Amino acid sequence: MSAYQKSGEVPVGSSHLEKEMEIDLGSLWQGIRRRLVWVLLTAGVLGVGVYFWSKFQPPAYEASSSLVTAGNTNLNNLREALVTASLLPEGALQEALQGPIVLGEVLKKIRLDASIPGKAREDMALKLQKELSDRKLETIKLSPRLDLSGNGVYTVSARGPTPQAAARLVDTTVSALLNWDQNRALRGVQRAERSLRAQLAEIDRQLASDQNTRLERDTLIAARATAQRNLAQARIQAEGITGSLELVAPAVVPLRPVAPKPLRNAILATMLTLFLGVGVAALRTILDRTVRSEDDLLAFGLPTLGTIPRLQRRDIVFNGIVRAAREAGLYEAVGFLRVNLLSRLGSRSGQYVMISSTVPGEGKSSLTATLADGLATSGQKVLIIDADLRRGTQEEVWDKYEREHTWVQLVGVEGARTFREALIRPENVQVMQAEPNVYVLPAGPGLHDSLGLLNRPDLNQILRQWGQGFDVVLVDSAPLLALADGLVLGKYMDAVLLVTESGKTSIQSVRQALRRAQGARVPILGFIINKINFSNSEARLYGYNYAYSPRNKEVR
């Protein structure tokens, strides 16, 4: 036993707290592994669900067409007779496409297009109307590939419920974009025409006046002739107006749908669920600061003497904890605990071992009974003192094992049959023989003020007197964080075992219990991890395997 264990000191300094917060990869994998079955099951179910959901979705077909920007650098002498719209800055055509002019024209033509079946036409129109209202275009896509000067190619793609509908939607969209682009150039010429007509009207008004000199009249006539020529030129240009876009090729009717893709969607959903599930499992493992394995307790510098599997509740109800432990095969787990405990206690008889926990419900009383049963089967004579004066349960535990008990004299003549009464009259005490080599001193009725009985100067002498003739005395005390009883009794013990429940006892509770034990100079010997859920493969990691049973050889 190390020096700090003898004195009750435990390492709970800042360095150990830092070690506790470190993420151990082995513990992280164990945490993920515990939840891996649910992650895989959820991913599989979701993948199958997405597959069948996608399989029954209506098909979607996609068609595309291309527009190229048209410059006027090689028009030579025809430049004055042909007006071409200026190149569009990047993003302008996309804004025009999702605006009410272009998309409104597309929507109007789609509603009147008799080549698209009625149901498909109505669905397309409703979807386009919603996208127009939301200013978020999804059915039609525009992908530009332009250089720095604005020259390049625009790819227009659209989806529809039928191949013909997808192709018609693309062609209609391209036509609307070309019309918008041409009208953009035409509006400039129309503004010039309006300006020239206004000039002619002003010249005619001045010519109608009698106050003009001959020179002024000749000047006005010449200006009028020039304006008329310019107006005629504008009318000619309006006839040959062109935009900055040209159609490369009309849309081709697609042969195969682009959606849905059940297998791809199922694989993606499964993979995404796996990644998210593993991530959530890892996060919960990191945030889960409860005791689950020996690794979680390494930072405290105390050994884990035993890891006890969880028993089925129905077995405990019908058979009691002792028989249930035997039938469930806890012999190996309790055997490891017994060997570890006795190796640290040594060969001296009459040693007191207190078994406590951090909070109620962690199984300290049941563990005390099963440990006593294990010690008794190895030939040790054991006395159990139920020192949990608030909620003693040892008598109830052993009543499940055997209803009829024999009472034997511990000290004196007849006398007290409970720990509560024995503290008042310690010279005459009887104990219940629960089974061969196991004797129990029950706690008695619940007592509110238990410290009043425990705080007596001769308590250590009384306990030593009671322990004569026994190899080990197991003291079942109240939880260290619930009452101070365990701290009072603990300083008279040769060793104290702290029971933790797997997946329930928090690291913070263990730290607080050890800090209190250190202050009261209680000699904590080590931990016991109780109620562990693991399979045979995990049991082998702890050093025992329930599947390794004796083989009966038939004698011929």
- Amino acid, res. 86: S
What is the per-residue pLDDT for 493? 93
* Distance between CA atoms of residues 174 and 102, nearest Å: 10
Low-confidence ranges of the chain (pLDDT < 70): 1-24, 26-27, 71-85, 234, 236-241, 315, 317-320, 327-329, 534-556
Write the secondary structure of 406-428 as one string of H (helix), E (strand) and C (coil).
EEEEEECCCCECCHHHHHHCCCC
CA triple 404-410-411, angle to 5 deg:
145
Residue 373 in tokens: 């049963």
pTM over 0.85: no
Of 180, 176, 167, residue with least CA distance to 124: 167
Q: Given this structure, which CATH class describes domain 61-188+242-249?
A: alpha beta
What is the per-residue pLDDT for 193? 77
- Amino acid, res. 532: I
- Pairing, β 524-532 against β 495-501: parallel
Q: What b/e readout covers 61-73, taking b as 16+ CB neighbours within 10 angstroms?
A: bbbbbbbebeeee
The three-class DSSP label of residue 190 is helix
H or E element: which one contains 539?
helix 536-541
Residue 538 in tokens: 């995990």
What is the per-residue pLDDT for 43? 93
Handedness of CA 326, 328, 331, 337 (dihedral sign): negative
Domain boundaries, the chain: 61-188+242-249, 289-541
H or E element: which one contains 40?
helix 25-55
CA-CA distances (angstroms) from residue 548 to 321, 375, 393, 533, 536?
23, 21, 33, 18, 10
What is the per-residue pLDDT for 191? 78
* Distance between CA atoms of residues 429 and 419, nearest Å: 9
Q: Given this structure, which CATH class describes domain 289-541?
A: alpha beta
